Amino acid sequence: MTKASPIELTHQLRGIDFPVGKKELIRYARDNNADEAVLRQMESMPDQEYRSMRDVTRAMGQTDESDDRSRSGGNEERERSRDEEREGEEQQGEASERGGGRGGKKR
């Protein structure tokens, strides 16, 4: 899927009054001849009230990330979990070296 840039999105929604719901955003973009890629991406945004253009662009970014994860089969999420696990192990090791491990303080 072709991703809409924040600039395209801002251009398509120029003049909209916030706060606004997802349906109103899509209707406004459609009335302003938004590109099909923009409309498809907006359709996948959470159905909520948006208080600013920043909220909208954040939601668009989240749809990009979820699309990327679904295409990669969740590999990024698994890698992130492994990195967090390694980081926790390193922190435990450092605490043990300083005497902060389960064995109590070194004397």
Q: What are the pLDDT digits (tens) for 5-25?
A: 888 888 889 999 999 999 999
Q: What interhelical angle do 36-43 and 22-31 show, nearest 10? A: 170
C-alpha to C-alpha distance for 43 and 48, rounded to whole angstroms: 12
Rounded CA-CA distance 86/42 in Å is 37
C-beta separation of 41 from 63 below 8 A: yes
Instruction: Give the pLDDT score at 8.
Output: 83
Q: What token pair was written down for 65?
A: 């990330």
Domain boundaries, the chain: 6-97
Instruction: Say whether pTM exceeds 0.75.
Output: no
Computed from CA positions of residues 11, 16, 38, 35, in that sequence, does the dihedral angle turn out positive or negative? negative
Q: Taking all residues of the chain, what is their mean pLDDT, rounded to a whole number? A: 76
74: its two tokens: 């969740």
pLDDT digits (tens, 9 = 90+) for 55-81: 999 998 876 554 444 444 444 455 555
